[in-house]
Amino acid sequence: MEKTIDENVQGTTLVVEGKEVNKRNLYIESYGCAMNFADSEIVASILATEGFNTTQTLEDADLVLVNTCSIRDKAEQTIRKRLTEYNKVKKTRPHLKVGVLGCMAERLKDKLLDEEKIVDMVVGPDAYKDLPNLIKEVDSGRDAVNVILSKDETYGDIAPVRLNTNGVTAFVSITRGCDNMCTFCVVPFTRGRERSRDPQSILVEVKELSENGFKEITLLGQNVDSYLWYGGGLKKNFENASDMQKATAIGFSKLLEMVALANPKMRIRFSTSNPQDMTLEVIRTMAKHKNICNHVHLPVQSGSNRILKAMNRLHTIEEYFELTDEIRKILPGCSISQDIITGFPTETEEDHAATLKALEHVKYDFGFMYSYSERPGTMAGRKMEDDVPEATKKRRLSEIIALQRSHCQFRTEKHVGQIQEVLIEGTSKKSEHEWKGRNTQSTVVVFPKENYKVGDFVNVQINDCTSATLKGVAVGYSDNN
Ligand code: SAM
């Protein structure tokens, strides 16, 4: 299953082939959303020209960077534990420097340096180009902080180095920040206001990936549907743009089309969509281009209009259903996945029942479900009491997960009997004799390896399934090779 926050990759150390001239070792560990993993590739690219090779061995490191997540309290606690581990290594490697990157750096700023003294360097998500200067500061014995959020930084001019890659799938960031101000969410505070990346730099990056053998990209942003390029700058300042800028502006469906047309053999995915910003134009563009995958990740968060309002999600559940119904009409085979938060402040049993009803209505292919975690500084954190008892949150979450699991089974079974195109991503976790890949809907498919190889597009006859995985046998190459 594709995950917004993939628990399997949390804390992955990222490595890339080293340069001989580089004399220092960077150990970089990443947590959180796909955006963070993509950012670590930008950081490694910046530091590769500053004398650093990557290592997977903490004890060999001269610099440890941890790219952090603040989305829930649990994520921050995991990272705090890791910071104490790094500090233990410092006892035997006194020259070792430790830096915190990403959302926790932005949220806690110099608290980690001054009060807790557990790191040497704090670098927010918009300050990675300043890393060479900040490293010089820590090398000369001073602490270093840069948590300035930017109006226009998109890192569009930096070619990420692909870390721990399967050589087949890659993330391409298209927007940074978020303007939505959902009351539960820390992202607008840690990643700043929304800005979009120059489409030409996106096209160049995708072309390079294609030339290097990559077969699938995911266009990435907190809210991809809100993508708007009008020459640079914050999305909120678009109203002040010139008439010419407004007339030539490029929105998400246009960008999607440009990427699809420029790379007809490349599979294209995107994440995450926000229901309030997603247009049917995007769905029609998906229907028009065979290489855009039939999957929409459309977080619903709650099925109760009262809770949606309190969350500042700017749509009702009826409007959400209209959208999912239209998606199914325009693209009948399209999978839809969700994010849900249970136990948001004031949530009653009636609200919870509305969420279960929403699940029943859409019957999502898969989803990512969380208990509400109060985040300091957010509107809900400041104005609402976290009043749903933990035991109630836990029970509601398990009811939601159980229902979603039955829908996963329902949706997955529908693929059985079909021949589907699968892009091979690697060896199955369960058997070294089987490949693992995904169909266009993003459902995992496993099948015997035979003579196929990673990166091949293969037609697979689907014979069986579990709730999350399809099983089959290859019947030949697809025409996309
Ligand atoms: N930008 C996307 C959106 O608004 O739909 C996704 C942002 S977030 C990285 C991924 C998911 O984490 C959210 O969709 C939400 O379900 C969950 N999440 C965010 N803040 C949370 C909180 N305070 N407690 C629990 N879950 C949270």
Spatial separation of the C-alpha atoms in residues 411 and 130, rounded to whole Å? 47
Rounded to the nearest angstrom, the distance between the alpha carbon of 268 and the centre of ligand 1 is 23
Residues 307-319: b if buried by 16+ CB within 10 A, e if exposed = bbebbebebebee
Residue owning the nearest CA to atom 12 of ligand 1: 71
CB of 375 sitting under 6 A from ligand 1: yes
Which residue type sits at 56? Q
CA of 369 to the centre of ligand 1 (A): 9
Average pLDDT (253-270) is 97
Average pLDDT over residues 249-255: 97
Is the CB–ligand 1 distance for residue 355 below 6 Å? no
Residue 348 C-alpha to ligand 1 middle, in angstroms? Answer: 20
3-class secondary-structure state, position 269: strand
Reported as a single tens digit per residue, the pLDDT across 150-197 is 999 999 999 998 887 899 999 999 999 999 999 999 999 999 999 999
pLDDT at residue 343, as a whole number: 98
Ligand 1 pocket residue status of 110, Cβ below 6 Å? no
- Separation of CA 341 and ligand 1 centre (Å): 8
DSSP per-residue codes, 309-335: HHTT-SS-HHHHHHHHHHHHHHSTT-E
Model pLDDT, residue 1: 33
273 lines ligand 1 (CB under 6 A): no
At residue 226, the 3 state secondary structure works out as helix
The Cα 209–Cα 205 span in angstroms is: 6
Question: Could you read off the pLDDT of 211-231 as tens digits, one per residue?
Answer: 999 999 999 999 999 999 999
As a whole number of angstroms, the distance between CA 422 and CA 230 comes to 37
CA angle 353, 355, 361 (to 5 degrees): 105
The finding on whether 388 has its CB within 6 A of some atom of ligand 1 is no
DSSP string for 161-210: PPPS--SSEEEEE-EES-----TT--HHHHH-S-EE--HHHHHHHHHHHH
Token readout for 134 is: 């900040």
In this structure, are residues 206 and 259 in contact, taking their beta carbons and an 8 Å threshold? yes
Q: Are 169 and 210 contacting, i.e. CB atoms less than 8 angstroms apart?
A: no
Rounded to whole angstroms, how far apart are CA atoms 447 and 81?
Answer: 39
For residue 321, report the distance from its CA to the centre of ligand 1, in Å.
20
Residue nearest to atom 8 of ligand 1 (CA): 71
**Does the N-terminal peptide bond of residue 316 adopt cis geometry, omega within 30 degrees of 0?**
no
CA 480 to centroid of ligand 1, rounded, Å: 35
Confidence band (pLDDT; 50, 70, 90) for 79?
very high
In this prediction, residues 69-73 reach a mean pLDDT of 95
Instruction: Kindly state if the Cβ of 37 falls inside 6 Å of ligand 1.
Output: no
Helix or strand run (H / E) with residue 370:
strand 366-371
Instruction: Give me the pLDDT at residue 8, please.
Output: 61
The pTM of this model reads 0.93
**pLDDT value at position 21?**
75
Q: Which of 2, 31, 339 to mutate to test the pocket of ligand 1 (most atoms within 8 A of CB)?
A: 339
Q: Report which protein residue has its CA nearest ligand 1's atom 10.
A: 4
Helices of type H across 332-450: 349-362, 379-383, 390-413
Q: Whose CA is nearest to atom 19 of ligand 1?
A: 185
Distance 88 CA to ligand 1 centre (A): 33
Question: Is the shortest distance between the CB of 380 and ligand 1 below 6 Å?
Answer: no
Directed axis angle between helix 34-48 and helix 131-139, to 10°? 70
State the average pLDDT over residues 41-67: 93
- The type of residue at 24 is R
Q: State the amino acid at position 431 in one-letter form.
A: S
State pLDDT tens for residues 409-435. Answer: 999 999 999 999 999 999 999 999 999
pLDDT in tens, 315-347: 999 999 999 999 999 999 999 999 999 999 999
Q: Is 372 in the pocket of ligand 1 (CB under 6 A)?
A: yes
Does residue 40 register a pLDDT over 60?
yes
CA 217 – ligand 1 centroid, Å = 22
- Flag whether pLDDT at 144 surpasses 80: yes
DSSP 8-state class, residue 99: E
Q: Are the C-beta atoms of residues 226 and 254 closer than 8 Å to each other?
A: no
Instruction: Evaluate: CB of 300 within 6 angstroms of ligand 1.
Output: no
7, pLDDT greater than 70: no
Q: Do residues 144 and 137 touch, judged by C-beta distance below 8 A?
A: yes
Angstrom distance (rounded) from CA 416 to CA 408: 13
Distance from the alpha carbon of residue 71 to the mean position of ligand 1, in angstroms? 7
d(CA 442, CA 278): 19
Query: Could you tell me if 18 and 46 are in contact, meaning their C-beta atoms sit under 8 angstroms apart?
Result: no
How many A from CA of 212 to the centre of ligand 1?
A: 33
**Nearest-CA residue for atom 11 of ligand 1:** 339
Whether the predicted pLDDT of 147 surpasses 90: yes
